[in-house]
A and B are shown apart, each in its own frame.
Chain A
Amino acid sequence: MVAQPRAPIPGLPMLPTSIVGSYSVPGWLERIKTDFHRHRISANHLTEIEEVAIKAAVKDQERAGIDVVSDGELRRDNDIDYLLARIPEVSIRGQGKDFYYDYYDAELVRPLGSDGQQSLGFAADFDFTRQQTDRPIKFSFTGPFSLSRRLRNGDRPDETELVRSLARLLNVQARELFDAGARFLQIDEPFLAGYPDAVPLAIEAVNIVTDGVPASWGLHICWGNRYARPTWEGHYDFLFPSVLQARVDQLVLEFARKGYDDLQLLHRLGWDRAVGVGVIDVKSTEVETAETVAGRVRRAVEVLPAESIVVNPDCGLRHTPPEVALGKLTAMVAGAALVRAELQPSVVHG
């Protein structure tokens, strides 16, 4: 009997395509965001501009043929400030920035939860995106461990408890997001690769975030993408065995820039769930061809079950110029389609 391979995401084709989170931030938007921090435009105008940019980003993803789209994280200055600046117990020193992408100097001035477990407004942001598209939407946010790395903890030295309390706060947001209709949620831990000893704590915190939220959960771990440069180098074995305990459905990982040897490692170390395989090098402005992408997807299919693979870029496309980002996504979709066409007639299950 010939069976159609199962897709990792119900309702989507095998080898579905997605983006990791952020989409290209055009130069003019960078300038406007920076102008906001210099008090040259109002928050109202900035919000309106960001919403127009989000509509365009969603449209670009649809044009490219992406199956699971995002808002491009275009409301966010970077991977940290979007969250920390919304937390009532966090004080931002000196509200201005020279450049929007700089990190705030954030300090926790009261224990998290002192003001009650509050909504940070993620659900409203998700709802805006949902109004722009009929496609499934991925909503990603930075995880508790990485957030804790950019949050000074005043005179409370217990970093472990800080991570856990951030996780509890994010769990509240996740529940709100799910209630608002979000079904594809992703936790990003961009700093974790620099702290291999902290993996058990980070995974414990991930499980707090996902607790009681029956969405499809992704966990994205890369080697850093600050200013389009890797922050660390290494291999994904540092995640094991702790990551096996993570209550997530998918690991979303970086491969295109570094090569695909670590796929074997995932297989060998027992990862048995879906893998978001990075097939687009987001640190390069060279647009991959569909055939290049297909070659990378084939590498993944050789090691992992096809039905466990999601096709995505290595990381966010924030630093990639707009025309390059669109070109890369278009090539990614075309490359995935090439391999899908090769697999469909030949996969036979007894």
Chain B
Amino acid sequence: MLVDVRPTSRLRGAKATDVAATLAPIMAALRDTDSVDLSRLRVVCDWIQYKDNFREQIDVRTILSNGPAGGAPADGDLEIAVDLRRSAEGPLAETTRALLRGYADNGLHRCYLEPWVHTTESCVWDFNALYWRALDLWEKATGRLYEQALPGGESDARNTDAVRELLGQMFGVWDDLAARNSLPEELYVVELGVGNGGQAKVWLDEFRAMDRARGTAYYGRLNYLMCDYSPHVLEQARITVADHEARISALALDARSPTTALGFLRGKIFLVYVSNVYDNLPNEEVARIGGRNYRVESRAYVTADDATLIAEDLGCAVETIRPTVGQLLRLGPALLAETRPDQFPSSEVAVTLWRELWAALRLEERYVPLPGLDMYRIAERVSGEILQPLVESDGDIRMHVNNGAVASFVDTLPLLHPFGRLLCHDLFVTDVQQFQNAFRGPGKYDGSVVNWCNGPLLRHIGGRAGFDVGFARFAHRTGTNIVTMTAQVRD
């Protein structure tokens, strides 16, 4: 048996976690459970930092020996996953026994919302997309704007000092190019994920003011392209920056494939600005366990107790929850209310179901062996081969692949002018080892999913494409986890 305690920073100090107290009842339960081969067992302890998340206090995962078709779930090693933060909740020994009994009997008493899937294809991402699609209804129901759910209550993208610093650097590059008669007439800047337009307004206000002060007349040559998944969000942002109307264009696009709309600007964009987008794009994880590489697969569920409560609220059988979820995710709460007025007399009632489901949503996981990293596709045009130096560097590891962020990153780099840069404010892991000593998501931010981004992976991908990718802690606010990633052409 192997016991892996990851949150090492929680093991010392005044608020040190008593790992022994957590492990003792689990070991007692294992002592009493003959169905578990202790020689093929791992116990993994995390500290799930997000108050709202997709994990149980304790859960069990199969490490499959072969692919999914290779036999019954029990045909593999076993991992018991423990959330140390919640280890004092309830009788852990009994919970563990019940869990292992249920696992052995193939009866975990869960209402599954989907079969086993690649995590990027899980319905949690449909919930995430629904949140942005029907944000107005969610905000109305909760009574607070989504930005208030962010740490600090607002986006760091609006930080005036940070914007001035960035503009100063960019003006310097432009001045140099202008001196060599190499500055294009049209100056393009792109923002991916515009939110309510607040960052764009701060950026443009500062741009105009600094440009006037310098007398460089760059403002009249500026094309600021606001890009977002949601036309509704774009429209709101346009209103916010109405003062700069002549300089603004708005494009609806998927952040994972910016060149579909911006391909005509290949090699022409001086700044691509991305704030708090990558952490919200579809992600899955890979793991290296005992020298072998695995993909983490998931299936979403709600517990039997939660399912019963939701079914009572709906006035229907538990079995109808899954199709109802499918309808909710496809149609959204407003159309669901129109389609099934008997059960949902108003969109507010549908939003209530949505919020209940989201709160109850959990992810069961298993490890499926990868036949070869090159057979794993991170994103279009990005082979899993590129993960090799990261996963094979040092012992067992489980880490995020951030498939959506990688897709976006890879598709953004070709847009950059040779003197352009990609600037991204987000939650980044900057060293692979950080995956080994702290939980990095997924968590729930309001109605959306949050995952830390795998900075070393992006750095590696950027490096192979000829870009220097650097990370620095966000310098203009203390106590923030936000990191600034910058990508610029090398050589």
Contact in complex: A31, B463 (CB < 8 Å): no
Stretch at the interface among A197-205, A214-222, A224-232, A340-348: A224-232
Partner of B389, one of A98, A102, A227: A98
- Contact partners of A101 in chain B: CB under 8 A: 464
Q: Does A121 contact B (CB under 8 A)?
A: no
Asked if A231 contacts B463 (CB within 8 A), the reply is: no
Query: In the docked arrangement, what's the CA distance between A34 and B465, Å?
Result: 15
Q: Contacts A226-B491, A231-B418; is A98 near B385 (CB within 8 Å)?
A: no
Interface pair B385/A27, CB less than 8 Å apart: yes
Please tell me if the beta carbons of A227 and B466 are within 8 angstroms of each other in the complex. yes
Nearest B residue (CB) for A103 = B491
Cβ of A36 within 8 Å of any chain B Cβ, yes or no, is no
User: Does A226 lie within 8 Å of B466, measured CB to CB?
Assistant: yes
> In this complex, what residue of A is CB-closest to B182?
A233
CB of B385 within 8 A of CB of A229, answer no
Please indicate the chain B residues that have their CB under 8 angstroms from the CB of A99 in the complex. 463-464
CB-contact partner of A227 in B374, B383, B465, under 8 A:
B465
Please give the distance in Å from B95's CB to the nearest CB on chain A.
Answer: 45
Q: List which A1-52 residues lie within 8 A (CB) of chain B.
A: 27-28, 31, 34, 38
Chain A residues with CB under 8 A of B466: 226-227, 229
Name the distance in Å between B357's Cβ and chain A's nearest Cβ.
Answer: 42
For residue B388, CB closer than 8 A to chain A, the reply is: yes
User: What is the interface of chain A mostly: helix, strand, loop, or mixed?
Assistant: loop
B464 touches A27 (CB 8 A): no
Contact mask for chain B residues 445-465; partner A; CB cutoff 8 A; 1 contact, 0 none: 000000000000000100111
A31: which B residues are within 8 A, CB to CB?
Answer: 385, 388
In the complex, the answer to whether B491 meets A27 with C-beta atoms within 8 Å is: no
**Contact at B374–A98, with CB atoms within 8 Å?**
no
Find residues 372-409 in chain B having any chain A CB closer than 8 Å to their own CB: 374, 383, 385, 388-389
Docked complex Cα distance between A271 and B482 (Å):
58
A94 to chain B, nearest CB (A): 16
Q: Which residues of B contact A226 (CB under 8 A)?
A: 466, 491
Q: How far apart sit A38 and B385, CA to CA, in the bound complex (Å)?
A: 16
Candidate in B414, B460, B464 with the most chain A CB atoms within 10 angstroms: B464
Contacts of B463 in A (CB 8 A): 98-99, 102
Q: How far is the CA of A20 from the CA of B485 in the complex (A)?
A: 37
Taken together as a complex, chains A and B put the C-alpha atoms of A226 and B467 apart, in Å, by 11
CA gap between A103 and B491 in the complex, in Å: 9
User: Which of A98, A101, A103, A227: most chain B Cβ within 10 A?
Assistant: A227
Within 8 A of B (CB), among A97-113: 98-99, 101-103
B57 CB → nearest A CB, Å: 41
Residues in B with CB closer than 8 Å to A229 are 267, 414, 466
Chain A neighbourhood of B465, CB < 8 A: 227
Which B residues touch A34, using CB under 8 A? 389
Contact with B along A254-269 (1 / 0, CB 8 A): 0000000000000000
The answer on a CB contact under 8 Å between A27 and B383 is yes
| Bound-state Cα–Cα, A28 to B374, Å | 9
Tell which of A27, A34, A229, A230 has the most Cβ of chain B within 10 Å: A229
Whole-angstrom distance from the CB of A140 to the nearest CB of chain B?
20
Q: Which residues of A contact B385 (CB under 8 A)?
A: 27, 31
Q: How far, in angstroms, from A52 to B414 measured CA to CA in the complex?
A: 33
Q: How far is the CA of A229 from the CA of B267 in the complex (A)?
A: 9
Q: How far is the CA of A34 from the CA of B463 in the complex (A)?
A: 13
Within 8 Å by CB of B374, from A27, A102, A103, A230, lies: A27
Q: What distance in Å separates the Cβ of B422 from its nearest Cβ neighbour in chain A?
A: 15
Q: For B267, what are the chain A residues with a Cβ–Cβ distance below 8 Å? A: 229-230
CA distance A101 to B463 in the complex (A): 10
Closest A residue to B383 by CB, please name it. A27
Tell me the nearest residue of chain A to B388, going by C-beta.
A31
**Within the assembled complex, what's the spacing in Å between the Cα atoms of A38 and B460?**
15
B258-273 interface (Cβ within 8 A of A):
267
Within 8 A of B (CB), among A112-136: none
A227 and B465 alpha carbons, distance in the complex (Å)? 6
User: Nearest CB to that of B374 among chain A residues?
Assistant: A27
A25 to chain B, nearest CB (A): 12
Chain B residue with minimal CB distance to A101? Answer: B464
Give, as a whole number of angstroms, the nearest-CB distance from B490 to chain A: 9
Query: In the complex, what residues of A have CB within 8 A of residue B418's CB?
Result: 231
Q: Taking CB as reference atom, which chain B residue is nearest A28?
A: B374
Query: 1/0 contact trace for A278-293 toward B, CB 8 Å?
Result: 0000000000000000
**Known interface pairs A31-B388, A229-B466; 8 further A-B residue pairs with C-beta atoms within 8 A, sorted by A's residue number:** A27-B383, A28-B374, A98-B460, A102-B463, A103-B491, A227-B466, A229-B414, A230-B267
Q: Nearest 3 A-B pairs (CB), nearest first?
A: A227-B466, A227-B465, A226-B491
B residues sitting closer than 8 Å to A (CB atoms) are 267, 374, 383, 385, 388-389, 414, 418, 460, 463-466, 491
24 contacts between A and B (CB under 8 A): A27-B374, A27-B383, A27-B385, A28-B374, A31-B385, A31-B388, A34-B389, A38-B389, A98-B389, A98-B460, A98-B463, A99-B463, A99-B464, A101-B464, A102-B463, A103-B491, A226-B466, A227-B464, A227-B465, A227-B466, A229-B267, A229-B414, A231-B418, A231-B491
Write the residues of chain A forming the contact surface with B, with a CB cutoff of 8 angstroms. Answer: 27-28, 31, 34, 38, 98-99, 101-103, 226-227, 229-231
